Amino acid sequence: MRRNRKVKILATLGPSSSDKDMIARLHQAGADCFRINMSHTNHEKLRYYVSTIREVEAEVGRPIGILADLQGPKLRVGTFANGPVFLEIGAKFGFHREKVDGDVTGVTLPHPEIIDALEPGHRLLIDDGRLRLRIVENDKKVAIAQVEVGGKISDRKGVSLPDTILTSGALTDKDRSDLTAALDADVDWIALSFVQRPEDLLEVHEIVDGKCGVMAKIEKPQAVQRFDEILELSDAIMVARGDLGVELPLEQVPSVQKRITRTTRKAGKPVVVATQMLESMIQSPVPTRAEVSDIANAVFEGADAVMLSAESAAGAYPIEAVQTMSHVAEEVENSEHFHSILAGQRGEPDATPADAISASARQIAETLGIAALVCFTASGATGLRAARERPSTPILALSPNRSMARRLALVWGIHSVVTDDARSLMDLVQRASRISAEEGFTKPGDRIIITAGVPFGTAGVTNLLRIATIGADGKSGI
């Protein structure tokens, strides 16, 4: 199944999309990868999702990516003795380390790491930012805050900390257990929630040990401030606009999204734009005009993937949501402005043979009207370099590594095929020519560009560029 678009669609599974038939229909509608939200998924359900996706993959004959999204720390206030209370603007309110019966004067904050880290001037946002308080004093037993935006507060409401860096790290005990289960289930990507510092990624990499890609979710102001360092330790980035929009002023989110997308693209790593892309389609069969523009902007920016959350997981119209996202992306990519915008954003290649070859392959392909760029890639590096160039020419990635082919299903413009590694230069040309024809990229007389690393089987090396012509039989190459 060959897509008619370059940007990929990441669809979240849930109550509306949990059986095999629905997962198959979502893939047919346009979902290239599936997200499993570990906030709502136990290990048994995780294994079911993965095995079901693999069954669909076997039937369609195309690699399908799977991302397990870790929950991260869920910070919540304690409980109130007599139900919800109303906090007036200017009132003082205490967050207690020890258990207390919550009332209008204060409540337990059952996270000692927060009490330890709060300092005067730090803000606390309660219930997705509906209430805002600012710390005025903290003796490490109770942190006293003044109410700046008041309202009703009740049991177990969430707490966001836009100014506070927690030393406890982003992985909870639940996350560690879920991470181990996800690796055992053989997922392709792990997404780490509530990253604040580059150090948060180190423990994840130690556990993962190269078994899958590690994606950092950018949803904290602290992560935005240290983004370049976080990017260096990540295999991919997700712009998680939900919590980012709570902790940052909303008007700043579009420019942050644009900066993160462009910086990640320049680094040659996948970037996903997520949250509320088609929020209205949870209950409506058609989107709003603003949502269509939101998707279009992400596609024009060259994001690798756009993500559906509740729209596909719990909404009433999961198939329609995927179809809508796919149709919008196709229309944008067919516009007269699309490739000129991407070309204007293209950075200079790094001063390495691999990047020079990838940049040259894109330029030659566009100059000569090449039918396809064919990348032999065991580690994924050759495919990622080709995608970083955002060529108008289709990219066909051939890999002997099935897990890598699945991982590349998230990457812009890449059509992945699992095949044996080339044994010789002649085998390289013949295999690339045959598969490009079988996958519908070429016909007799078409030319392809082949990039690879030699010696064959050497991971992470791109040092060969070859132009080949498809033979009269439509499959052999010269």
- pLDDT tens figures, 159-202: 999 999 988 888 999 999 999 999 999 999 999 999 999 999 99
User: Would you state the pLDDT for residue 457?
Assistant: 67
> For 256-263, which contacts have Cβ atoms below 8 Å and span 24 or more sequence positions?
256/218, 256/224, 257/298, 257/301, 258/301, 259/227, 260/218, 260/224, 260/227, 261/298, 261/301, 261/302, 261/303, 262/301, 262/302, 262/345, 263/227, 263/228, 263/231
Looking up tokens 């330790």, which residue turns up?
233
User: Would you state the pLDDT for residue 169?
Assistant: 80
Residue 460 has pLDDT above 70, yes or no: no
Mean pLDDT of all residues belonging to the chain: 95
- List, in sequence order, every beta strand (DSSP E) within 284-391: 305-308, 372-376
Q: Which residue has the higher pLDDT, 295 or 475?
A: 295
DSSP conformational letter for 242: H
The SS3 call for residue 477 is: strand
pTM of the entire predicted model? 0.95
Residue 459 has pLDDT above 80, yes or no: no
Amino acid at 78: G
Count of C-beta atoms within a 10 Å radius of residue 137 = 14
pLDDT tens column, 134-147: 999 999 999 999 99
Pairing of strands 464-469, 142-149: unpaired
pLDDT-derived band at 454, boundaries 50, 70, 90: confident
User: Would you state the pLDDT for residue 349?
Assistant: 84
Residue 422 has pLDDT above 90, yes or no: no
CA distance 170 to 111: 14
341-219-157 Cα angle (round to 5)? 145
| Portion of the chain with pLDDT greater than 70, in percent | 99
CA distance 369 to 446: 9
Which domains are seen in the chain, by residue range?
8-72+171-334 (3.20.20.60), 85-160 (2.40.33.10), 348-469 (3.40.1380.20)
Query: Which tokens in the block code for residue 118?
Result: 């709060």
Residue 456 has pLDDT above 80, yes or no: no
CA distance 53 to 189: 14
Residues marked as catalytic: 35, 76, 217, 275
User: Would you state the pLDDT for residue 89?
Assistant: 97
| Exposure b/e, 14-32, CB count within 10 A at least 16 = b | bebbeeeebbbbbbebbbb
pLDDT-derived band at 423, boundaries 50, 70, 90: confident
CA distance 277 to 309: 9
